[in-house]
C-alpha cells in the first residue's frame, strides 16, 4: 500500500511547501497592514489584496490565531512558521562557520530539521525543496526536446562532486567571513524572489540564476543541480547517513528490469544495491515503479558500515563512467565564483551614482512618501538629487531638486547649474527631452520641473562648476515600467519558442537534404557508368 | 588503491585551488566595513561582525510591524546582498511602540544573533539600539532659515531633540538612538534632519 500512498503523500507535501513559500511573504504583508491599521484601505482587488483580505477573514475572530500569523516570517532559508523557528542546516553551518560562534536560538531552530533528516534521510530534497519541485517539472519538459528533435544530452559527473562543492563553499565562507550561500542556494534564492514578487511585483537577479540552472537541466545534463552540485543536498545526505527508513530490495523477487534505475531522480540505481545509501530522498518513485514488488520501505537500525554490495553509488555503475576529475570540480567551483563576481561587477558599474532606493522597494498601496534620493560626490562637493515623485508615471510633472554642499565648509553651493534630461535608447542616440536650463539656487537648492514623456530609463545630467572646470554628473531616472516582469517572461517564452522553431526548421532542412542526397546518390549512379565506358 | 589515492590527492588540490581563487574573488568585494554603511536595524552588531553573522534570511524584514526594514538588492554586490537596512525617509523604525511585544520584533526574529535582543523598555533601547545619530543640516532646516517649523521635535520618541530659539532642533547625541522618525516627518525635501550611521558594539547578555 505504501507503494501508492508515498508518492501521493509526496505530491501533497510538495504542493503544501509551495503554498508555504507563497504564504510566508503574504502573511508578512498581512501583518504589515494589520499593524499599520490599514487593513481596510487596501485598495483595488488584485490577487495580493484578495489574499491579505482572505487571511484577515480567517484570522480576525481569534486573538490566538493573530498571534500565530504574527509569528510567521522569513524565507525557506530560515523561517518561523506559526511560532516554530526552523533553519536550513546549511544556514546553520554557514552561520557557525562565518561568525565563529554558537548562537542558541540558531541551534534551537536547527533541532527539528536535523532530527527529521537524521531519522528519515534527505527528505527535504525530495519532499519539500521548491527548487526540486520546479526541476522535476523541468525534467518532464525534456520530452519537449524530443518533439523538437533535439538530441537529449545527459552529461554525467560524479555524484561525489557535491561534497567537494560543499567543502569549497564552507571553506570560502570561513575564509572570507561572508555568508554568501543564500545568494546561489536555489531554495533560498527562490524564496527571496517570491518575497520580492509579493512585495514589489518584480524579481531580482536571483531569478536569472534559477533560470540558468533550469536551462542547463533542460539542455545539458539531467537533474544536474541536485545530483552533482547542490551543497545543501550534500549536507542533508551526510546528516542522513545513519537514517532508519530505507528502501530495501528483495533479491529473490527482483527481475533486474531496470525500471527503478530509470525513474530515480537522483541517479542512485536501486536495482544494484541491497538497501539505498545516504543520498536517497525516500521519495518512493522506485518503489512505485517496481512491477515485481521487490522494493519496499523498511524501518531498520542505523547501518554503520556498508559492505561493498550495499554501496549505492558510482563504484558499481554498470557502464563504469563515473568520473572524479578535479577539473570538473574546479569548473563547478569557478562557475560559482565567476557568477558572484559578475553579480558584484554589475553593481560596481552603477554604485558610484546610484545608492538610492531600488525602484521596486516602493509599494504603491502602502502609505509612504514616494521620494527618491541619489547621493553623489564630486570634488569637494556632496550632491543630493531629490525627485518627487520618486517613480513618476509618464506625463507626470516631476520635481527634481539638487542640493549641493561643500563637504569641508558645510556651506551650500551658490553658483548657477544647468540640467538636461535624456531618454536612454538601447540602440542608437539618446534623445533629448529636457533642454539644458540654467538655474540660480533658491532656498539653498536648485529646482527643476521635468516631465518624462513615456516609459523608460532617463538620464538627468547636471552640469556644475567644480574648481573652475565644468563637471557633468549623470543621475539615472526610471519612469513607468521599462522592464516589467510580464514583458521579460513574454520575451523568454517567445525566445524559447523561436529557438525551438529554428532548430526544427534546421532539422527538417537537413533531413530533406540528406534524403535528396540519398536519392541523388542512387539515381546518378547509373548514368556515370556510360560516361566512363565512352572513353 | 593507488589510483584512488591519486584521485583523492588531485581532488584535494582542486579544492585548495578553488578555495584560494574564491577567497581572493570574494575578498575583492569585501570593502572596509564602515564605508557607506547603511542604517541597520536596532541591536545590530558592528558592521564587520554583522556582515559575517547575518545569514540573509529576511526574518527581521518580515517581522517589522512598520515595514521599515528592507533587504539590500543583489545589485549592491555579493557581500551586502540580502542584508537588512532601513531608509528612515521612506519608513522609519518606530521602536515597536504601537505593538504588543516583549522585545523589539526584529531582534526577536533574528535567528543568527546578528541583531541582539532588545527589551521594549526605554533603558534597554537607549543602551542597545544604536542605529545612528540624527544630524540637522543648518542650510536646509526651516527653523534655521527664517521659518518656524518644529515638526521633528514632536516626532522624537526618546526625547533626544531639544528645542532652541524659534523651535530650532538641537540633537542630544547621548539620548538619540537613530530611529529616524524625525527624518521621516521632516517636511523639507531633501530632508533637513537625517540619521547618520555610527559605530556599533556587541552587548554580551
pLDDT tens-digit profile of B9-54?
666 676 676 666 666 665 555 554 445 678 999 988 888 888 888 9
Q: What is the pLDDT of residue A466?
A: 85
A393 interfacial to chain B (CB closer than 8 Å): no
Q: Is the domain of A228 the same as that of A249?
A: no
A67: alpha, beta or left? (left if phi > 0; alpha if psi -120 to 50): alpha
Whether A323 is in a domain gets the answer no
Q: Report the candidate in A216, A22, A211, A227 with the shortest Cα–Cα distance to residue A130.
A: A22
Rg (CA), chain B: 22
Could you say which of B49, B79, B113 has the minimum Cβ distance to residue A178?
B79
Position A370 pLDDT exceeds 80? no
Q: Is the domain of A59 the same as that of A154?
A: yes
Domain count, chain A: 4
Instruction: For residue A279, give the CATH number of its domain.
Output: 3.30.70.20
- A524 — pLDDT class (breaks 50, 70, 90): low
Could you say which of B19, B57, B78 has the minimum Cβ distance to residue A77?
B57
- A18 — pLDDT class (breaks 50, 70, 90): very high
Position B153 pLDDT exceeds 90? no
Which percentage of chain A shows pLDDT scores above 70? 81
- A236 — pLDDT class (breaks 50, 70, 90): very high
Rounded to an integer, the average pLDDT of B107-117 is: 90
Residues of B in contact with A75 (CB under 8 A): 57-59
Position B159 pLDDT exceeds 70? yes
Q: What is the pLDDT of residue B27?
A: 57
Whether A333 is in a domain gets the answer no
Interface of A with B in 202-221 (CB under 8 A): 204-206
Interface of A with B in 279-338 (CB under 8 A): 324, 326-327, 329-330, 333-334, 336-337
Q: What is the pLDDT of residue A328?
A: 58
**Beta-carbon contacts of residue A374 (< 8 Å; ≥ 6 apart):** A353, A354, A355, A356, A384, A385, A387, A475, A476
Q: Is the domain of A191 the same as that of A249?
A: no
Strand, helix or coil for residue B126: helix
Q: How many CA atoms lie within 13 A of A397 on its CB side?
A: 3
Residues of B in contact with A399 (CB under 8 A): 189
Residues of B in contact with A110 (CB under 8 A): none
Q: Report, in this order, helix, strand and coil percent for chain B, each rounded to 5.
A: 35, 10, 55
Mind giving me the DSSP string for B7-47?
Answer: HHHHHHHHHHHHHHHHHHHHHHH---TTTTPPBPPTTB--H
> Is the Cβ–Cβ distance between A383 and A392 less than 8 Å?
no
Q: What is the pLDDT of residue A399?
A: 84
Dihedral sign, CA of A203, A209, A212, A217? Answer: negative
Lowest mean pLDDT among A248-257, A526-535, B149-158: A526-535
Q: Report the candidate in A333, A417, A357 with the shortest Cα–Cα distance to residue A161.
A: A333
Q: What is the pLDDT of residue B19?
A: 66
Q: Is the domain of A458 the same as that of A427?
A: yes
Q: How close is the nearest chain A Cα to the Cα of B84, in Å?
A: 12
Lowest mean pLDDT among A1-15, A136-150, A162-176, A484-498: A484-498
Position A291 pLDDT exceeds 80? yes
Please give the Cα distance from A96 to A311 (Å, whole number). 32
Could you say which of A91, A399, A443 has the minimum Cβ distance to residue B55?
A91
Residues A35, B145: C-beta atoms closer than 8 Å: no
- What DSSP state is assigned to residue A382? E
Q: Is the domain of A176 the same as that of A87?
A: yes
**Domain-ending residue, one of A236, A259, A285:** A236
Q: What is the pLDDT of residue A329?
A: 60
> Is the Cβ–Cβ distance between B111 and B60 less than 8 Å?
no
Position A278 pLDDT exceeds 80? yes
Residues A176, B30: C-beta atoms closer than 8 Å: yes
- A458 — pLDDT class (breaks 50, 70, 90): confident
Interface of A with B in 186-205 (CB under 8 A): 188, 192, 195, 204-205
Compare all CA atoms of chain A with the CA of B68 and give the residue at the minimum distance: A32
Please give the Cα distance from B145 to B142 (Å, whole number). 5
- Among A21, A30, A32, the strongest candidate for a mutation testing the B interface, having the largest count of B CBs within 10 A, is A32
Position A350 pLDDT exceeds 90? no
Please give the Cα distance from B175 to B173 (Å, whole number). 6
Residues A79, B53: C-beta atoms closer than 8 Å: no
**Beta-carbon contacts of residue A399 (< 8 Å; ≥ 6 apart):** A386, A387, A388, A447, A448, A449, B189
pLDDT digits 0-9 by tens, A416-451? 888 988 888 766 778 888 888 888 888 788 888 888
Q: Is the domain of A288 the same as that of A371?
A: no
Q: How close is the nearest chain B Cα to the Cα of A107, in Å?
A: 9
Position A367 pLDDT exceeds 60? no
Which cell numbers hold the place of A363?
A: 509599494
pLDDT digits 0-9 by tens, A258-270? 888 888 888 888 8
Instruction: For residue A452, give the CATH number of its domain.
Output: 2.60.40.1930
Rounded to an integer, the average pLDDT of A522-535 is: 53
Residues A347, B74: C-beta atoms closer than 8 Å: yes
Rounded to an integer, the average pLDDT of A7-20 is: 92
Query: Which domains are seen in chain B, by residue range?
Result: 47-196 (3.30.70.20)
> Is the Cβ–Cβ distance between A9 and A120 less than 8 Å?
no
Pairing of strands B169-171, A84-87: unpaired
Residues A175, B22: C-beta atoms closer than 8 Å: yes
Residues B59, A74: C-beta atoms closer than 8 Å: yes
Whether A228 is in a domain gets the answer yes
Residues of A in contact with B73 (CB under 8 A): 204, 358, 360
Please give the Cα distance from A240 to A231 (Å, whole number). 14
Mind giving me the DSSP string for A458-474?
Answer: EEEEEEEEETTEEEEEE
Q: What is the pLDDT of residue A323?
A: 46
Q: What is the pLDDT of residue A318?
A: 43
* Whole-Å CA distances, B200 to A148, B33, B104: 59, 12, 17
Whether A326 is in a domain gets the answer no
Q: Is the domain of A76 the same as that of A161?
A: yes
Q: What is the pLDDT of residue B77?
A: 73
Position A235 pLDDT exceeds 70? yes
Position A535 pLDDT exceeds 60? no
Q: Is the domain of A122 the same as that of A260?
A: no
Please give the Cα distance from A217 to A221 (Å, whole number). 5
**Domain-ending residue, one of A200, A218, A236:** A236
Q: What is the pLDDT of residue A5?
A: 86
Cell 559605530, located at residue: B199
Whether A321 is in a domain gets the answer no
> Is the Cβ–Cβ distance between A164 and A329 less than 8 Å?
yes
Position A456 pLDDT exceeds 90? no
Position A15 pLDDT exceeds 90? yes
Compare all CA atoms of chain B with the CA of A373 and give the residue at the minimum distance: B190
* Whole-Å CA distances, A69 to A5, A40, A83, A105, B66: 31, 18, 8, 20, 16
Average pLDDT across chain A, whole number: 79
In terms of average pLDDT, the best of A93-97, A143-147, B63-67 is A93-97
Residues A35, B65: C-beta atoms closer than 8 Å: yes
- The helix (run of H) or strand (run of E) holding residue A377 is strand A372-378
A482 interfacial to chain B (CB closer than 8 Å): no
Whether A398 is in a domain gets the answer yes
- B87 — pLDDT class (breaks 50, 70, 90): confident
Whether A420 is in a domain gets the answer yes
Q: What is the pLDDT of residue B21?
A: 66
Residues B54, A179: C-beta atoms closer than 8 Å: yes
Q: Is the pLDDT higher at A20 or at B74?
A: A20
- A346 — pLDDT class (breaks 50, 70, 90): very low
- A333 — pLDDT class (breaks 50, 70, 90): low
Q: Is the domain of A50 the same as that of A191?
A: yes
Compare all CA atoms of chain A with the CA of B70 and give the residue at the minimum distance: A361
Q: Is the domain of A210 the same as that of A63?
A: yes
Q: What is the pLDDT of residue A315?
A: 47
**Domain-ending residue, one of A217, A236, A255:** A236
Q: Is the domain of A25 the same as that of A134?
A: yes
A87 interfacial to chain B (CB closer than 8 Å): yes
Q: Is the domain of A210 the same as that of A309?
A: no
Q: What is the pLDDT of residue A340?
A: 54
How many Å is the maximal CA-CA distance in chain A? 106
A77 interfacial to chain B (CB closer than 8 Å): yes
Position A407 pLDDT exceeds 50? yes
Which cell numbers hold the place of A137?
A: 517539472
> Is the Cβ–Cβ distance between A317 and A269 less than 8 Å?
yes
Residues A106, B19: C-beta atoms closer than 8 Å: no
A398: β partners: A450
Helix crossing, A161-176 with B2-29: angle to 10°?
Answer: 40
Q: How close is the nearest chain B Cα to the Cα of A160, in Å?
A: 11
Residues A36, B90: C-beta atoms closer than 8 Å: no
Measure CA A87 to chain center: 19
Instruction: Supply φ then ψ for residue A155, to 5 degrees.
Output: -75, 125
Please give the Cα distance from A205 to A289 (Å, whole number). 39
Q: What is the pLDDT of residue A483?
A: 62
Domain coverage including residue A168: 2-236
Residues of A in contact with B22 (CB under 8 A): 168, 171-172, 175-176, 333, 336-337
Whether A270 is in a domain gets the answer yes
Amino acid at each position: 500500500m505504501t507503494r501508492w500512498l508515498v508518492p501521493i503523500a509526496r505530491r501533497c507535501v510538495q504542493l503544501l511547501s509551495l503554498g508555504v513559500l507563497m504564504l510566508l511573504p503574504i502573511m508578512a504583508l498581512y501583518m504589515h497592514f494589520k499593524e499599520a491599521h490599514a487593513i481596510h484601505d487596501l485598495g483595488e482587488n488584485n490577487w495580493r489584496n484578495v489574499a491579505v483580505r482572505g487571511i484577515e477573514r480567517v484570522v480576525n475572530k481569534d486573538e490566538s490565531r493573530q498571534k500565530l500569523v504574527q509569528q510567521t516570517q522569513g524565507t525557506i532559508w530560515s523561517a518561523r512558521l506559526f511560532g516554530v523557528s526552523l533553519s536550513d542546516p546549511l544556514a546553520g553551518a554557514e552561520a557557525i562557520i562565518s561568525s565563529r560562534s554558537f548562537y542558541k536560538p540558531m541551534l534551537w531552530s536547527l533541532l527539528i530539521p536535523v532530527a527529521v533528516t537524521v531519522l528519515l534521510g534527505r527528505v527535504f530534497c525530495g519532499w519539500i525543496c521548491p527548487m526540486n519541485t520546479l526541476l522535476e517539472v523541468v525534467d518532464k519538459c525534456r520530452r519537449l526536446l524530443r518533439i523538437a528533435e533535439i538530441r537529449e544530452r545527459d552529461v554525467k559527473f560524479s555524484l561525489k562532486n557535491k561534497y567537494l562543492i560543499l567543502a569549497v563553499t564552507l571553506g570560502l565562507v570561513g575564509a572570507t567571513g561572508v555568508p554568501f550561500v543564500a545568494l546561489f542556494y536555489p531554495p533560498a534564492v527562490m524564496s527571496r524572489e517570491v518575497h520580492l514578487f509579493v512585495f514589489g511585483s518584480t524579481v531580482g537577479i536571483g531569478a536569472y540564476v534559477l533560470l540558468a540552472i533550469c536551462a542547463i537541466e533542460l539542455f545539458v545534463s539531467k537533474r544536474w543541480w541536485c545530483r552533482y552540485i547542490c551543497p545543501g543536498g550534500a549536507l542533508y545526505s551526510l546528516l542522513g547517513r545513519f537514517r532508519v527508513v530505507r528502501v530495501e530490495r528483495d533479491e529473490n523477487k527482483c527481475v533486474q528490469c531496470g525500471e527503478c534505475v530509470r525513474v530515480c531522480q537522483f541517479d542512485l540505481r536501486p536495482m544494484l544495491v541491497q538497501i539505498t545509501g545516504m543520498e536517497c530522498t525516500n521519495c518512493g518513485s522506485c518503489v512505485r515503479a517496481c512491477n515485481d514488488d521487490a522494493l519496499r520501505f523498511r524501518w531498520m537500525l542505523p547501518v554503520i558500515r556498508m559492505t561493498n554490495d550495499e554501496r549505492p553509488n558510482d563504484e558499481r555503475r554498470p557502464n563504469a563512467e563515473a568520473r572524479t576529475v578535479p577539473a570538473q570540480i574546479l569548473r563547478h567551483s569557478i562557475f560559482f565564483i565567476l557568477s558572484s563576481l559578475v553579480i558584484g561587477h554589475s553593481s560596481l558599474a552603477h554604485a558610484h551614482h546610484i545608492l538610492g532606493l531600488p525602484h521596486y522597494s516602493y509599494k504603491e498601496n502602502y502609505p509612504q512618501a514616494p521620494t527618491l534620493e541619489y547621493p553623489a560626490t564630486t570634488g569637494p562637493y556632496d550632491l543630493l538629487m531629490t525627485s518627487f515623485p520618486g517613480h513618476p508615471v509618464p506625463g507626470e510633472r516631476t520635481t527634481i531638486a539638487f542640493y549641493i554642499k561643500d563637504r569641508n565648509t558645510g556651506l551650500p553651493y551658490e553658483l548657477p547649474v544647468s540640467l538636461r534630461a535624456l531618454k536612454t535608447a538601447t540602440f542608437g542616440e539618446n534623445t533629448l527631452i529636457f533642454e539644458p536650463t540654467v538655474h540660480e539656487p533658491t532656498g539653498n537648492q536648485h529646482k527643476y520641473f521635468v516631465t518624462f514623456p513615456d516609459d523608460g530609463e532617463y538620464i538627468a545630467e547636471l552640469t556644475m562648476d567644480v574648481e573652475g572646470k565644468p563637471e557633468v554628473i549623470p543621475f539615472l531616472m526610471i519612469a513607468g515600467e521599462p522592464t516589467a516582469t510580464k514583458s521579460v517572461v513574454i520575451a523568454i517564452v517567445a525566445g524559447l519558442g523561436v529557438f525551438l522553431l529554428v532548430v526544427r526548421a534546421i532539422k527538417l532542412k537537413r533531413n530533406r537534404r540528406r534524403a535528396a542526397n540519398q536519392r541523388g546518390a542512387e539515381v546518378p549512379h547509373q548514368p556515370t557508368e556510360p560516361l566512363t565506358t565512352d572513353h | 588503491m593507488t589510483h584512488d589515492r591519486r584521485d583523492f590527492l588531485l581532488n584535494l588540490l582542486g579544492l585548495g585551488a578553488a578555495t584560494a581563487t574564491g577567497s581572493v574573488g570574494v575578498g575583492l568585494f569585501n570593502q572596509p566595513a564602515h564605508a557607506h554603511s547603511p542604517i541597520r536595524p536596532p541591536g545590530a552588531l558592528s558592521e564587520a561582525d554583522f556582515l559575517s553573522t547575518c545569514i540573509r534570511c529576511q526574518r527581521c524584514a518580515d517581522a517589522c510591524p512598520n515595514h521599515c526594514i528592507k533587504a539590500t538588492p543583489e545589485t549592491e554586490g555579493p557581500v551586502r546582498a540580502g542584508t537588512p537596512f532601513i531608509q528612515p525617509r521612506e519608513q522609519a523604525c518606530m521602536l515597536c511602540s504601537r505593538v504588543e511585544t516583549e522585545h523589539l520584533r526584529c531582534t526577536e526574529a533574528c535567528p543568527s544573533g546578528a541583531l541582539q535582543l532588545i527589551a521594549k523598555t526605554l533603558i534597554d533601547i537607549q543602551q542597545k539600539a544604536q542605529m545612528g545619530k540624527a544630524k540637522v543640516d543648518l542650510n536646509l532646516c526651516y527653523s534655521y532659515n527664517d521659518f518656524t517649523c518644529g515638526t521633528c521635535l514632536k516626532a522624537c520618541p526618546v526625547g533626544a531633540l531639544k528645542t532652541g530659539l524659534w523651535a530650532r532642533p538641537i540633537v542630544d547625541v547621548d539620548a538619540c538612538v537613530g530611529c529616524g522618525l524625525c527624518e521621516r516627518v521632516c517636511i523639507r525635501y531633501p530632508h533637513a534632519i537625517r540619521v547618520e550611521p555610527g559605530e556599533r558594539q556587541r552587548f554580551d547578555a
